[in-house]
Amino acid sequence: MFSKILVKLVDEAIVPALYLVTARIVSLVLISHAFGITVSVGRSGLVYASSADYVLANSYSLLFMVVSVGVGLLHIVIKSVVFHDTHIVPPLAAKLHSLKMHHLIQSSYHLYTQGLVWLAYLYFLAIGAGIMSLFGLVYMWLSFATLGIAVLFTYVFILDVEREL
């Protein structure tokens, strides 16, 4: 049978995956419209008029995805810093309980599984951006920016885990 942690990780991975797919599709449409890029849908997928249009759309779409993951991770970091059950300040905990909003207080297990999933997606984006930049499919600066953001969020989570211990 599957372990409880593995099932929890798979369960936590579904919503971010749908969020990223939606962000990719919406960003491709918005970027193509904003830059006046002609895109047609054919048997092989999206077809661009030129390779420069493809690189532009792909780069900014990937940037939109990285920002989307960053927003998701920022949400988890805020929950981890403010509403973490091990270091929530007592007045805030009392206020949340009196407002019947105690569900906002979350355990380490829940926060860290969410954070691990979102960080994994961010690192997958960083690796993908690096590979695509090697082949000239996205701008090089995007791969470095994505890696920098991934390292920054990893550092923040390490600080929270150390604070937990």
Write out pLDDT tens, residues 105-118: 777 777 888 888 89
The count of residues in the chain is: 165
31 burial (CB, 10 Å; 0-12 / 13-18 / 19+) is: buried
> Do residues 132 and 55 lie in contact, with contact meaning Cβ atoms separated by under 8 Å?
no
Query: For the chain, what is the mean pLDDT?
Result: 86
Name the phi and psi angles at 46, rounded to 5: -80, 135
The average pLDDT across 28-54 equals 88
Q: Looking at the chain, which runs of residues are DSSP E strands?
A: 39-42, 45-48
The rounded percent of the chain whose pLDDT value lies above 70 is 97
Residue 1 reports pLDDT greater than 60: no
Task: Please state the domain extents for the chain.
Answer: 4-164
Coil, strand, or helix at residue 85? coil
More confident residue, 99 or 66: 66
pLDDT of residue 140: 95
Name the phi and psi angles at 40, rounded to 5: -125, 150
Cβ neighbours around 40 below 10 Å, total: 9
The average pLDDT across 69-96 equals 80
